[in-house]
């Protein structure tokens, strides 16, 4: 298969990261990186994307074949449209069409989490599986659903595992009650530890350290998070039957401290369902733009 040279762009809430990526539909690697603050308005954001693509194209020894851009929120990748985000400046914007015109090369537009899931399924922790869920746990919790070998999108609305009601009764910023991410996201773990103890912490990693030290309040907050995650994973197992659930994002850096108790809790909950193997994500921070690059390469292969 031909090696392709693409620029991958990952639009984040505060920062937009880009990389020069080379490879085939099965495996890609990022070489040069560049980043800018994400502007709060759409036109300046499009300018930033064009600048990043220009900068990395100039740094490339090869001509750029395509561009892949990923973003958070509700994204319809089939149509290349950014449908909605809570914090970024667009609504129903046709990124793929507009950027293809502006950049002069085929440009794919996709969802950050599903793109990361695509990368994990082609070349990472879910490689070789037909059914898996890739679940980044950070500020929020989302899921990329690999169903019978394809990443499932449903017009951008599928995979919101962070907003499944697991019965803890606390209100979520989304308007529902009992959402997984209200107690189990990295942000929630830090927030709930501070609410419980009055002690500010840097983030979930610091709570994890306190769990390792055997501090009781930290252990209690951690266990509530693990319980919510296990219940969320049980829903996935019941509805989708994944062979594995791949844990990613900042919280996955806790490694065994997360996976061990989660395995145990899941074993306690599971009945007839196929018990998904719990794995840690393999591609880390790079998964988003590796996935964006794969979307761009797929556009060329289509």
Question: 56 or 172: whose CB is closer to Zn ion?
Answer: 172
- Determine how β-strand 15-24 pairs with β-strand 4-11: antiparallel
> Between 178 and 250, whose beta carbon lies closer to Zn ion?
178
Among 87, 91, 176, 199, binds Zn ion (CB under 5 A): 176
Does residue 83 belong to the site contacting Zn ion (CB under 5 A)?
Answer: no
Tell which one of 163, 192, 210, 279 touches Zn ion (CB under 5 A): 163
Among candidate residues 152, 162, 291, the one with its CA nearest the CA of residue 144: 152
- For residue 3, count other CB atoms closer than 10 A to its CB: 11
String marking each residue 177-196 x if it binds Zn ion according to CB under 5 A:
--x-----------------
Q: Give the range of 71-79, 165-173, 193-201, 293-301 binding Zn ion by CB under 5 A.
A: 165-173
Nearer to Zn ion, 7 or 184 (CB): 184
Tokens 């252990």 belong to which residue? 219
In the sheet with 277-280, reading across from the earlier edge strand, the strands are 150-152, 144-147, 132-136, 244-248, 277-280
Note the Cα 10 to chain centre separation in Å. Answer: 11
Interface with Zn ion, residue 228, by CB under 5 A? no
Q: Which is nearer to Zn ion, 59 or 177 (CB)?
A: 177
Residue 125 contacts Zn ion per CB under 5 A: no
142 binds Zn ion (CB under 5 A): no
The neighbour count for residue 125, using CB atoms within 10 Å, is 23
Q: Is 231 in the site for Zn ion (CB under 5 A)?
A: no
Contacts of residues 75-81 at CB distance under 8 Å and 24 or more positions apart, as own/partner, are: 75/109, 75/110, 75/111, 75/114, 75/156, 76/153, 76/155, 76/156, 77/108, 77/109, 77/110, 77/111, 77/114, 77/153, 77/156, 77/295, 78/153, 78/155, 80/107, 80/108, 80/109, 81/109
Residue entry with tokens 């659930």 = 245
Q: Name the one range near Zn ion by CB under 5 A: 160-168, 225-233, 258-266, 290-298.
A: 160-168
Q: Total residues contacting Zn ion (rule CB under 5 A)?
A: 5
Contact pick of 172, 236, 247, 266 for Zn ion (by CB under 5 A): 172
Per CB under 5 A, the list member of 174, 220, 257, 270 interacting with Zn ion is 174
What does the binding site for Zn ion look like in residue numbers (CB under 5 A)? 163, 172, 174, 176, 179
């Amino acid at each position: 298969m031909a090696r392709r040279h693409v620029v991958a762009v990952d639009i984040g809430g505060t920062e937009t990261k880009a990389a020069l990526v080379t490879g085939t539909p099965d495996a890609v690697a990022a070489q040069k990186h560049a980043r800018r603050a994400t502007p709060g308005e759409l036109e300046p954001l499009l300018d930033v994307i064009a600048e990043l693509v220009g900068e990395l194209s100039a740094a490339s020894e090869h001509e750029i074949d395509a561009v892949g851009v990923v973003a958070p929120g509700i994204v319809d990748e089939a149509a290349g449209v950014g449908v909605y985000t809570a914090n970024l400046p667009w609504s129903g914007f046709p990124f793929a069409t507009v950027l293809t015109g502006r950049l002069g090369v085929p440009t794919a537009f996709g969802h950050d989490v599903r793109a990361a899931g695509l990368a994990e399924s082609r070349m990472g922790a879910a490689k070789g599986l037909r059914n898996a869920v890739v679940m980044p746990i950070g500020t929020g919790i989302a899921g990329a659903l690999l169903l019978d070998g394809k990443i499932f999108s449903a017009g951008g609305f599928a995979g919101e595992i962070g907003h499944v009601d697991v019965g803890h009764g606390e209100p979520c910023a989304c308007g529902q009650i009992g959402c997984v991410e209200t107690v189990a996201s990295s942000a929630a773990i830090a927030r709930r530890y501070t609410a419980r103890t009055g002690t500010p912490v840097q983030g979930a990693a610091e709570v994890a350290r306190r769990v390792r030290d055997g501090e009781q309040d930290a252990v209690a907050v951690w266990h509530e998070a693990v319980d919510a995650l296990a219940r969320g994973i049980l829903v996935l197992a019941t509805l989708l039957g994944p062979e594995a659930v791949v844990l990613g994002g900042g919280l996955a850096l806790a490694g065994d401290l997360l996976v061990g108790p989660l395995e145990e809790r899941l074993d306690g909950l599971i009945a007839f369902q196929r018990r998904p193997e719990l794995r840690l994500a393999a591609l880390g921070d790079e998964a988003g733009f590796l996935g964006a690059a794969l979307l761009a390469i797929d556009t060329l292969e289509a």
